[in-house]
Structure 1
Amino acid sequence: MQPKRPLRFIVSGGGTGGHIFPAIAIADELRRLRPDAEFLFVGAKGKMEMEKVPAAGYRIEGLWISGLQRRLTLDNLSFPVKVLSSLFRSQQILREFRPDAVIGTGGYAGGPVLYAAAKQGIPTLIQEPNAFAGLANKWLGSKVDKICVAFPGMSKFFPSQKLVITGNPVREQLLERARQMEADGSNTVLLMGGSGGARSLNEAMAASTDRIAARPDVRWVWQCGKNYLDAFHECETARLPNVTITAFLDKMDEAYAQATVVIGRAGSTTIAEIEYLGKPAILVPSPWVAEDHQTRNAEALTERNAAVLVADSEVNEKLVPTALELIDDPQRRQALGGAAQEQAKPGAVKRIADEVLQLIITHPEKSDIHAAV
């Protein structure tokens, strides 16, 4: 038997919090299971992962990569060069770091590094969080070894023999802290626009000054996103004494603990965290995402009366009144939260980490580190 040595993992997830935080959650769980393991994240230069990953305690390398625009733009002319550059750099990173497995949760950088790893015979795993698979993951599906998903019926996108239903990874330590915190007793609406922000949600808040002012007993925590803070932080709604506006929520556990009602997009991470906590929620699917996958995500809850759906086109008229109706209806809030919690898949992050370790154990070229696993 060969001597034991620390396992090495490359993790790639970026562009949005919905890719970054699941990636960090998986790394945290692998570090819990293998405290001596070594980690390297790979992200896209200039994207938020270059800030959030180091803040979580991990080293990150940035690739010169961006997405292909769906419309004809000058940026698309550089796309082939960026892909070739990122593939070359990914191969360098793999040679230098020598990972035992490479894990992807979505984002521009995942394509090159996972493709290069698969070509080199390194165990690879991707996590697809949505009910409708993204283009990059669909392309990688035929090349990687394992695909972890949250919804049944994903064999229409991926080879069925590679699929395992694990649920979506969430920051369980953070959410458990939120559970243990005591709310201050106030009625609080937590509006989350995502890491970049959601223009329509912000505009709905700005258009609802009178409605929000008329209910001083209801506190609003308005996460507008870094892209919109300058545009909205001086609007009349933001200056109300019962409204707190912020670009990003650094203490997410406290925000969740205080929330009586949660408003957000229907991204997979938001939904998984709402389910885990059993929070009554209003979901506003983004109309701008590929294949309208957020609507499909939301319908997985609304069909079970586990959330309220408000169309993006109707937020100005319906969003704030719907939130106030829920504040005034504790029985409905309890029903929504209970139904949401029934959909939760706690332990998803451990199931994914176990799949990664199992890949290493069973990989024919990794017999030299079986003792370490």
Structure 2
Amino acid sequence: MKIVVSGGGTGGHIYPAIAFINEVRKHNPEAEFLYIGTKNGLESSIVNRANIPFEAIEISGFKRSLSFENVKTILRFLKGVSISKKYIKQFKPDVVLGTGGYVCGPVVYAAAKLNIPTIIHEQNSVPGLTNKFLSKYVDKVAICFQEAEQFFPRNKVVFTGNPRASEVVGNDRQKGRDVLGFSSTKKIVLIVGGSRGAKPINDAFLEVLPKVGEKQYHVVYVTGEVHYENVKREVDKVGNPSNVIIKPFIHNMPEVLAGIDLIVARAGATTLAEITALGIPSILIPSPYVTNNHQEKNARALSEKGAAIVRLEKEISGAALLTDIDQILLNEEALQQMKVASKGLGIPDAAQKLYDLMKQLI
């Protein structure tokens, strides 16, 4: 079995691709893969670290306003299609999967024109331009939110969920707590503003730090590498409370998630797939800086089912954040109800579902 995978730009496109590859390897250890991405994108380092053969093309996204850059993008797309066809003809895949990002455009389009079975995977509730374009040419469209179905040809859509969810289930709760260094049985809230952090969330947290130190629960605060030194400096001024751990980044997130009781986070698709697979209640602060405001729409899909509280970034203050945390962690009934609601939205076998969809096409 030979599979070409393409996805890039953000971890939200890349990690589901890696999770899918890991799932295929469980079923077929002899399977061969070729990952096509961009040389300068995040996917280059992540895929190489995972020991997956990698080839690169050059591509950029369309500007939403009239721009000469769009002419360059069309030329890059056509060149990317030509190069992708060369890679595909050499590799001879049985199927091609695109998990999002501009790079998928020429790769999956080239495969479709070569009559190779194709799937695109859409992680968000509102798809980007690339997947909308590709949906006209591919055989199947795998989605993670029912809300995304309306944007694609109905006869192609299959609800699979996000393969990343499958990688967090099965981790041990106590081990997650041990990794964080908490020996007590007190509840734990994880606050994280994405891989680069989020200054408004940092500011809100620092605003109420002394009060956080008085709480009967633990707080793990992930600042993002960029903000860590500034946040640590401010924390040191008032004294680091014993129930608060400050970290720049967490590399073993699946392990850590298994040990927590509540998360305060952005509303990226991968994050939501992970926390619903584990049944973790959430306070979601969607990034306002994403295409089509898709993070808020992702978050609303959880809040409407009672699995999350949504707070827009412009609404965030330290007092509001602490009130929301208290209302969940200090109210056992509310906490359990949100856990059940979150678990009900999770798809822990998402990787298997995507694998089964692929097998149908081969």
Gaps of 5+ in 1: 1-6, 361-373
* Partner residue of 2:47 out of 50, 53, 59: 53
Q: 1:228 to 1:350 in 2, by over 3 A?
A: same
> 2:126 touches 2:147 (CA, 8 Å); kept in 1?
no
**Residue 252 (structure 1) aligns with:** 253
Quote the Cα distance in structure 1 between the aligned partners of 2:248 and 2:283: 20
User: 2:229 & 2:78 partners in 1: Cα distance?
Assistant: 37
Equivalent residue number for residue 371 of structure 1: none
Partner Cα distance (2:322, 2:8) in 1: 31
Mapped partners of 2:40, 2:248: distance in 1: 18
Distance in 2 (alpha carbons) for counterparts of 1:112 and 1:341: 37
Percent identity, aligned pairs only?
38
Amino acid at match of 2:348: P
2:37 paired residue among 43, 49, 67: 43
Aligned residues: 353
Unaligned runs of 5+ residues in structure 2 are 178-182
Mapped to 2, the partners of 1:65 and 1:352 lie a distance apart of 26
The structural deviation recorded for 1:124 is: 0.7
Q: Is 1:191 aligned to residue 191 of structure 2?
A: yes
Which residue number corresponds to residue 83 of structure 2? 89
| Aligned residues of 1:206 and 1:237 also touching (Cα < 8 A) | no
Deviates more, 1:180-189 or 1:131-140: 180-189
Q: 1:26–1:352: 8 Å Cα contact kept in structure 2?
A: yes
For residues 122 and 194 of structure 1, the distance between their equivalents in structure 2, rounded to whole angstroms, comes to 36
For 2:155 and 2:103, the matched residues in 1 are separated by 26
Q: CA deviation at 1:102?
A: 0.9
Distance of 1:72 and 1:227 partners within structure 2: 34
Q: In structure 2, give the amino acid aligned to 1:201.
A: I
User: Which range moves more in the overlay, 64-73 or 84-93?
Assistant: 64-73
CA shift digits 1:277-317 (9 cap, x unpaired): 11121111222222222222222221121111111112224
Checking the alignment, whether the CA contact within 8 Å between 1:125 and 1:148 is kept in structure 2 is yes
Q: Judging changes above 3 Å, is the alpha-carbon distance between structure 1 residues 237 and 164 closer, same or farther for their aligned structure 2 residues?
A: farther
- Alpha-carbon distance between aligned partners in 1 of 2:147 and 2:326, rounded to the nearest angstrom: 36
Counterpart-to-counterpart distance in 2, 1:234 and 1:74? 45
Instruction: Tell which deviates more after alignment, 103-112 or 145-154.
Output: 145-154
Instruction: Measure how far apart 1:87 and its partner are.
Output: 2.8
Q: Is the 8 A contact 1:145 1:162 kept in 2?
A: yes
- Confirm whether residue 18 of structure 1 aligns to residue 12 of structure 2: yes
Return closer, same or farther for 1:227/1:330 CA change in 2, 3 Å cut-off. Answer: same
Q: 1:31 aligns with which of 25, 31, 43?
A: 25
Q: Can you list the C-alpha shifts for 1:154-199, whole angstroms capped at 9, x where unaligned?
A: 4431111111112222242433114574644233221232233333
Cα distance in structure 1, aligned partners of 2:35 and 2:205: 36
Runs of 4+ in 1 over 6 A off after TM superposition: 71-77
Name the SS of the counterpart of 2:137 in structure 1: coil
List per-residue Cα deviations over 1:39-78 (Å, max 9, x = no partner): 1222222222222223333232233233334568897675
SS at match of 1:108: coil
Range that drifts further, 343-352 or 223-232: 223-232
* Distance in 2 between residues matched to 1:137 and 1:190, nearest whole Å: 32
Do 1:190 and 1:255's aligned partners in 2 also have CA atoms closer than 8 Å?
Answer: no
Of 136-145 and 234-243, deviating more is 234-243
Q: 1:330 to 1:40 in 2, by over 3 A?
A: same
Contact 1:44 1:108 in 2 (8 A): no
Indicate conservation of the 8 Å contact 1:129/1:150, yes or no: yes
Partner residue, 1:157: 151
Kindly provide the amino acid, as one letter, of the partner of residue 212 in structure 1: V
> Separation in 1 of the partners of 2:66 and 2:316?
30
The answer to whether the 8 A contact 1:202-1:232 is kept is: yes
Question: AA paired with 2:96?
Answer: V
C-alpha contact (below 8 Å) 1:192/1:222 kept by paired residues: yes
Change (3 A) 1:237 1:61: farther
Q: Secondary structure at the match of 1:274?
A: helix
Structure-1 residue corresponding to 2:180:
none
RMSD over equivalenced CA pairs, Å? 2.6
SS at match of 1:167: coil
| 1:134 has 2:128 as partner | yes
Contact 2:176 2:260 in 1 (8 A): no
Q: 1:49 to 1:264 in 2, by over 3 A?
A: same
Amino acid at match of 1:186: K
Distance in 2 of aligned mates of 1:359 and 1:230: 50
